[in-house]
């Protein structure tokens, strides 16, 4: 028993060491992004029901580091400020599916191809859903208050960033947000994902997933069924997928979970139905599921055409982890997460 726990902890520590420098870098970029882009800039460009507004909302959401629950109060605020249902839906999809922090950790634990495909898939899915929502009848639900703490202990909503705020003040505020509230929101889930990755590494034999689930549609459907009701943020889903990739999970099935897990969960879907109406919620879930499966099959074909083995890249990265720099980064990240959680309590 002690030996098993030791192996699980060691595997989890390897994942943490590999990802920690990239997580810290991603948080730093998130803070700078928050400082540079005022909140009013986002709301000003999302009004109406035009295709242009949907594309803008999708593009704006890609780099923002908000989880699927945290994006809901932001979207509610945007809707109150005049954002159309299509752009709001697009923003609700592209924002939690990716972000500068999750892009960094994707490169750390997976490979460059998935690092590029992941935000691109989020963008395509968001635009598709937003355009379809624009085609729905104009009838909208009565305004309702949206619970901000549905599945996060905090609202995950960034602090106000008023236009005209001097950069010398905005940058420290943005960094404080990234290493404070944002890290408090995603840190525990990230550590949980890393712990699950360690458990998967120890529990599942190499090649098990490939042998028993195959690399086709079956494994994608399983990842889809697991990801829709589950709450897992974009950063936390990555170590889980990386561990499964080492056991034979196909790139397509990995992408399905990376797309579905962060963007959908039972609580968020319920809130979206209250905020935008049940038809929008149906379009939201349906488009994410269909796009995930289609893109999953496409990325499997791409990896086969490029003759790339995602598991070999992941294994190589983990075997090279554990140096002095990575170890110090892992210790620093654990300290920062503990500090953010303790400070809140």
Mean pLDDT, rounded, of the chain: 79
The single residue listed with the structure tokens 């979970």 is 257
Hey, what are 226's tokens?
């697991």
Q: Which of 111-125, 149-163, 218-232 has the lowest mean pLDDT?
A: 149-163
**Number of other CB atoms surrounding residue 145 within 10 Å:** 8
Split at pLDDT 50, 70, 90, the class of 124 is: very high
Nearest residue to 327 (alpha-carbon basis) of 335, 338, 337: 335
Rounded CA-CA distance 23/2 in Å is 30
47, β-bridge pairs? 83
- pLDDT higher than threshold 90 for residue 132: yes
Rounded CA-CA distance 11/196 in Å is 10
Nearest residue to 30 (alpha-carbon basis) of 150, 185, 189: 185
Rounded CA-CA distance 138/23 in Å is 42
Does 334 or 157 have the greater pLDDT score?
334
Rounded CA-CA distance 104/95 in Å is 15
Hey, what are 233's tokens?
């943020």
Give the predicted TM-score (pTM) of the model: 0.76
């Amino acid at each position: 028993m002690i030996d098993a726990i030791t192996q699980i902890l060691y595997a989890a520590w390897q994942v943490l060491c590999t990802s920690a420098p990239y997580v810290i870098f991603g948080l730093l970029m998130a803070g700078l992004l928050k400082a540079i882009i005022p909140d009013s800039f986002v709301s000003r460009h999302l009004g109406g029901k035009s295709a242009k507004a949907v594309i803008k909302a999708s593009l704006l959401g890609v780099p923002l580091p908000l989880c699927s629950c945290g994006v809901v109060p932001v979207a509610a605020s945007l809707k109150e400020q005049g954002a159309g249902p299509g752009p709001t839906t697009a923003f609700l999809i592209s924002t939690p599916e990716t972000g500068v922090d999750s892009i960094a950790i994707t490169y750390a634990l997976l490979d460059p191809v998935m690092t590029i495909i992941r935000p691109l898939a989020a963008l395509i899915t968001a635009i598709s859903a937003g355009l379809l929502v624009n085609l729905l009848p104009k009838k909208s639900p009565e305004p309702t208050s949206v619970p901000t703490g549905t599945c996060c202990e905090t609202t995950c909503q960034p602090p106000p960033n008023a236009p005209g705020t001097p950069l010398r003040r905005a940058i420290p505020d943005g960094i404080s947000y990234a290493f404070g509230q944002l890290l408090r929101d995603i840190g525990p889930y990230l550590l949980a994902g890393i712990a699950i990755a360690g458990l998967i590494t120890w529990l599942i034999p190499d090649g098990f997933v490939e042998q028993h689930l195959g690399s086709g549609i079956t494994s994608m459907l399983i990842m889809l069924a697991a990801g829709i009701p589950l709450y897992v943020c974009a950063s936390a889903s990555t170590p889980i997928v990386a561990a499964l990739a080492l056991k034979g999970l196909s790139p397509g099935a990995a992408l399905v979970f990376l797309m579905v897990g962060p963007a959908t969960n039972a609580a968020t879907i319920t809130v979206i139905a209250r905020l935008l109406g049940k038809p929008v919620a149906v379009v939201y879930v349906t488009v994410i599921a269909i796009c995930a499966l289609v893109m999953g099959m496409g990325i499997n074909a791409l990896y086969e055409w490029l003759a790339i083995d995602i598991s070999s890249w992941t294994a190589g990265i983990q075997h090279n982890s554990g140096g002095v720099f990575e170890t110090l980064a892992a210790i620093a990240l654990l300290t920062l997460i503990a500090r953010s959680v303790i400070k809140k309590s």
